[in-house]
């Protein structure tokens, strides 16, 4: 059967201030009609550049230096505009950034239909509602008038799918379509894409760094490294008998249900050097106790007979304890209350009621604004989900790490601050020559290390990690996880690890708390909760984890 898409010896170069940089080197692969092809590799491997070239969205600084792309047996050059939307469509990585923030989602879908003459003024709204219904959005008649900021991440991704499928294209390009989504929303999104594309006989090009997802949903996988295609094979063959060393390293770095943390680097990165541990004064065995914690948010709009509507309870009377030196996982779907709970403990927002007893003191007795100026602020620190957005673009890496030393620890002498910054950089494995760089000059893994160094600068007792590896490649994620595990043991810190990646939670945490709709539904050791869950909600979370198992693939 002739391929629907054919990328043949494609080479692309980008103009930079220091001359041209070659991004793709004679890349070649095919997508057959009805086939799902996964394109995997680390950031910078060229997988997104390949996709943008196919759909005609290549940056103006880029140019094709060799080869080309054929669609349905004809070159795409010169006809991408007519192909885009009607024949080839794309689901972008960040749905909130891709959607127009000041236009209702229904109008955005209607505009696509009208642009391709598939609907007129009278029926565009009805067709938009029908598309929202097809992507399984509840109450589409109401949601059609919603703005993107009024929808969850999962719902925005469904709107993106509706936009991509509006014109019934024959080829769908999905660029990291589930990054940042919890496991059940991720599974629902990918199941929806699979079911809709199968029903329509569409081909799919799935770009991802999640090898478990690629194994679950793809027929064939193309592996890219530094602008080259290094391996291409059917799913079962690739995972049971990988040929290229880079493919072997990617597989070794991907966490699975039986992985061990020490095994994950797969030779991709050298072990991180750690400075000698600093002695810590002994304290009470119980570090943290959360008692009947409640957080309510007011609802918008009017209630019945003009009364105010009942507030939304994001955290609903939860309680748990945490021992000194323990690593505790906090998991659940988006909106379950885990991030709200962690931000209250970190004193970034105030609770409605309840108590948080930290190291023998109820820290909720102090409003968050006052707590920020207290010496106790340094004993609880946080590593945020988006390493880039959490760093000030005006500060170098060294200045970002130095800020808490000056503002919280009271370290003023320039030489002492510099020595401590150098020591922290060594502890997190950040090369000294990178300390003068700004966030936009650092890779994702390097920015993650700056965020960790900044958080441990005040020698905290408790470190709260909010999805610290969700946007990282598997090899970088493996190194960061090993770094966090080593820091905890060497510095005697305790961790609250907030994540939707249950495989990562199992690797880093001894105990796990599962939350649903503001309540704790299950708690226990990581082994108990993730391998023998008792609650039906936890069972649903565990069953939604995408993973590859060579034994299962061999059997298939």
In 135-208, which ranges are continuous DSSP H helix? Answer: 140-143, 153-165, 183-200
Sheet strands side by side (includes 511-516)? 380-383, 462-466, 494-498, 327-331, 511-516, 519-525
pTM of the model as a whole: 0.78
| CA–CA distance, 28 with 8 (Å, rounded to integer) | 5
- Identify whether the C-beta of residue 264 lies closer than 8 Å to the C-beta of residue 255: yes
- CB of 474 closer than 8 Å to CB of 263: no
Distances (CA, A) of 414 to 235, 399, 407, 417, 421: 55, 11, 13, 5, 11
Tokens (6 digits) for 401: 């790490």
Domains and CATH numbers, the chain: 5-263 (3.40.50.300), 289-300+309-555 (3.40.50.300)
Question: Would you tell me how many other CB atoms lie within 10 Å of the CB of residue 467?
Answer: 20
**Close Cβ partners of 197 (under 8 Å, ≥ 6 residues apart):** 36, 172, 203, 204
Q: What is the pLDDT along the chain (556 residues), one digit of tens a residue?
A: 789 999 999 999 998 887 888 989 999 999 999 999 999 988 778 888 999 999 888 888 889 999 999 999 999 888 888 888 889 999 887 787 789 999 999 999 999 999 888 888 888 999 999 999 888 887 889 889 999 888 877 788 889 888 988 888 899 999 888 776 777 878 888 888 888 888 888 899 999 888 888 988 999 999 999 899 999 999 989 988 999 999 988 888 887 776 777 666 655 444 455 555 555 556 668 999 999 999 998 876 655 556 777 888 889 999 999 999 899 999 988 778 888 899 999 999 999 999 999 988 999 998 888 888 888 888 999 998 777 778 899 999 999 999 999 888 888 889 999 999 998 998 888 888 889 989 888 877 788 889 999 999 998 999 999 888 776 777 778 888 888 888 888 888 999 999 877 888 888 899 999 999 899 999 999 989 988 999 999 999 888 887 666 555 545 5
């Amino acid at each position: 059967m002739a391929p629907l898409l054919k990328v043949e010896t494609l080479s692309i170069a980008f103009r930079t201030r220091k001359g041209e940089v070659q991004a793709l080197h004679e890349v070649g692969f095919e997508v057959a009609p009805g086939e799902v092809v996964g394109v995997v590799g680390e950031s910078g491997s060229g997988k997104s550049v390949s996709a943008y070239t196919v759909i005609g969205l290549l940056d103006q600084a880029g140019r094709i230096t060799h080869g080309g792309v054929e669609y349905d047996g004809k070159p795409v050059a010169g006809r991408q505009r007519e192909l885009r939307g009607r024949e080839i469509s794309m689901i972008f990585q960040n749905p909130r950034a891709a959607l127009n923030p000041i236009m209702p989602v229904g109008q955005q879908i209607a505009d696509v239909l009208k642009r391709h003459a598939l609907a007129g003024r009278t029926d565009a709204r009805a067709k938009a509602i029908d598309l929202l219904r097809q992507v399984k959005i509840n109450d589409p008649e109401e949601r059609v008038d919603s703005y993107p900021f009024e929808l969850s991440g999962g719902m925005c991704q469904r709107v993106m799918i509706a936009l991509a499928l509006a014109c019934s294209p024959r080829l769908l390009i999905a660029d990291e379509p589930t990054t940042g989504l919890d496991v059940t929303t991720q599974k629902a999104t990918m199941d929806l894409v699979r079911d809709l594309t199968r029903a329509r006989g569409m081909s799919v090009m799935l770009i991802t760094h999640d090898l478990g997802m690629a194994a679950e949903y793809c027929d064939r996988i193309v592996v890219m490294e530094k602008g080259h295609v290094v391996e291409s094979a059917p799913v079962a063959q690739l995972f049971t008998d990988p040929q290229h060393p880079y493919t072997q390293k990617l597989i070794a770095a991907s966490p699975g249900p039986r992985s061990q943390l020490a095994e994950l680097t797969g030779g991709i990165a050298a072990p991180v050097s750690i400075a000698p541990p600093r002695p810590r004064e002994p304290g009470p065995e119980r570090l943290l106790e959360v008692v009947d914690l409640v957080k309510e948010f007011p609802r918008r709009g009017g209630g019945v007979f003009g009364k105010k509507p009942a507030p939304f309870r994001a955290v609903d009377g939860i309680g748990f304890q945490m021992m000194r030196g323990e690593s505790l996982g906090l998991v659940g779907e988006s909106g379950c209350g885990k991030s709200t709970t962690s931000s209250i403990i970190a004193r970034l927002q105030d609770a409605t009621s309840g108590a948080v007893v930290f190291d023998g003191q109820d820290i909720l007795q102090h409003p968050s604004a006052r707590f920020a100026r207290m010496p106790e602020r340094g004993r609880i620190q946080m590593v945020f989900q988006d390493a880039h957005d959490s760093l000030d673009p005006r500060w170098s890496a060294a200045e970002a790490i130095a800020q808490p030393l000056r503002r919280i620890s009271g370290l003023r002498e320039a030489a002492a601050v510099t020595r401590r910054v150098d020591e922290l950089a060594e502890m997190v494995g950040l090369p000294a020559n990178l300390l003068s760089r700004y966030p936009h000059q650092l890779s994702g893994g390097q920015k993650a290390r700056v965020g960790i160094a900044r958080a441990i600068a005040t020698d905290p007792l408790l470190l709260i990690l909010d999805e610290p590896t969700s946007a990282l490649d598997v090899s970088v994620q493996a190194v960061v996880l090993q770094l966090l595990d080593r820091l905890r043991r060497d510095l005697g810190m305790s961790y609250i690890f907030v994540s939707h990646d249950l495989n990562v939670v199992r690797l880093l945490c001894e105990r796990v708390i599962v939350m649903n709709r503001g309540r704790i539904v299950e708690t226990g050791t990581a082994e108990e909760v993730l391998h023998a869950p008792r609650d039906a909600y936890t069972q649903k979370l565990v069953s939604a984890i995408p993973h590859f198992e060579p034994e299962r693939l061999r059997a298939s």
